[in-house]
Amino acid sequence: QKEVEQDPGPLSVPEGAIVSLNCTYSNSAFQYFMWYRQYSRKGPELLMYTYSSGNKEDGRFTAQVDKSSKYISLFIRDSQPSDSATYLCAIPRVLTGNQFYFGTGTSLTVIP
Amino acid sequence: NAGVTQTPKFQVLKTGQSMTLQCAQDMNHEYMSWYRQDPGMGLRLIHYSVGAGITDQGEVPNGYNVSRSTTEDFPLRLLSAAPSQTSVYFCASSYNRLRGGYEQYFGPGTRLTVT
């Protein structure tokens, strides 16, 4: 079983829709969870950083962690065409936190 | 801050040629890493460094060398390029947050084609 698994998509939604992006993970000791956004032909950029369980909100973006299910989600409200990108979840390793497990990414297209 | 910078942006090599991909960061981050990104395979760690003078192998190190003589620079060397090394290469730097955990920042990438 891979440490982090992510629905690859692709996902296509109309502008204004609520988008849900998801990852599952295997190790209950993971504590920190990140979401990156990667535009086409660009490097990943850090979007959200959460610790332990619960929700964190930043504008139209909400990151949610459910440690009981080992499930992390990124919600995008009022999605915009500029949100079209690939979204990757990432989790720092437990013993060597400067190394990370990455999901394979979910490609999102928001149609105007 | 420029963040993490990489050069070149694009490169075409012939099989057997060698080259160095440059990476620099100006955030004084202790940790630096090199990844390759291939369709359907996500980001895979090639080599990483936990400080100047200290490097170690990631999950796909064969065919690549690194060194880290300064905090800022972390070049990746392809010893004898092979078509299997056609990929997009990302350099990243990371630091230990005071609040716990690590944050990692990526460069813009180098798109390499080996013919």
Q: Give the mutation candidate from B25, B43, B55, B96 for the A interface (greatest A CB count, under 10 A).
A: B43
A50 and B112 in contact (C-beta within 8 Å)? no
CA distance A15 to A111: 5
A3 and A25 in contact (C-beta within 8 Å)? yes
pLDDT value for A95: 67
Angle B44-B59-A105 (CA atoms, 0-180°, nearest 5)? 20
Residues of chain A contacting B43 with CB distance shorter than 8 Å? 44, 88, 102
Q: How far is B42 from chain A (nearest CA, A)?
A: 4
- Is the sign of the CA dihedral B62, B67, B68, B74 positive or negative? negative
Tell me the pLDDT of chain B (115 aa) as tens digits.
Answer: 789 999 999 999 999 999 999 999 999 999 999 999 998 888 999 999 999 999 999 999 999 999 999 999 999 999 999 999 999 999 999 988 877 778 899 999 999 999 9
Better-predicted residue by pLDDT, B23 or A31 = B23
Residues 6+ apart with CB under 8 A from B45: A99, B33, B34, B35, B58, B59, B60
Cβ neighbours, 10 Å, residue A23: 25
A107 interfacial to chain B (CB closer than 8 Å):
no
- The pLDDT tens digits for A49-72 are 888 878 899 999 999 999 999 999
Lowest model confidence (mean pLDDT) among A5-9, A78-82, B35-39: A5-9
Whose CA is closest to B9, among B113, B93, B115, B114? B113
Strands (E), B26-73: 31-38, 42-51, 54-57, 64-66
pLDDT value for A58: 94
pLDDT value for A26: 93
User: What is the rounded average pLDDT for all residues in chain A?
Assistant: 92
B99 interfacial to chain A (CB closer than 8 Å):
yes
Check pLDDT > 90 for residue A42.
Answer: yes
Give the confidence band of A96 by pLDDT, cuts at 50, 70, 90: low
List the single residue in B41, B58, B100 with the smallest CB-CB distance to A104. B41
CA distance A77 to B19: 45
Mean pLDDT of all residues in A39-52: 92
Residue type (1 letter), A16: G
Residues of chain B contacting A3 with CB distance shorter than 8 Å? none
List the single residue in A41, A88, A99 with the smallest CB-CB distance to B48. A99
pLDDT value for A53: 78
pLDDT value for A8: 82
Residue type (1 letter), A35: W
Residue type (1 letter), A110: V
pLDDT value for B14: 97
Residue found under tokens 């890493």? B33
B43 interfacial to chain A (CB closer than 8 Å):
yes
Check pLDDT > 90 for residue A1.
Answer: no
List the single residue in A42, A44, A97 with the smallest CB-CB distance to B102. A97
Q: What is the DSSP secondary structure assignment for residue B2, as one 8-state letter? A: -
pLDDT value for B69: 96
Angle B34-B100-B94 (CA atoms, 0-180°, nearest 5)? 20
CA distance A65 to A67: 6
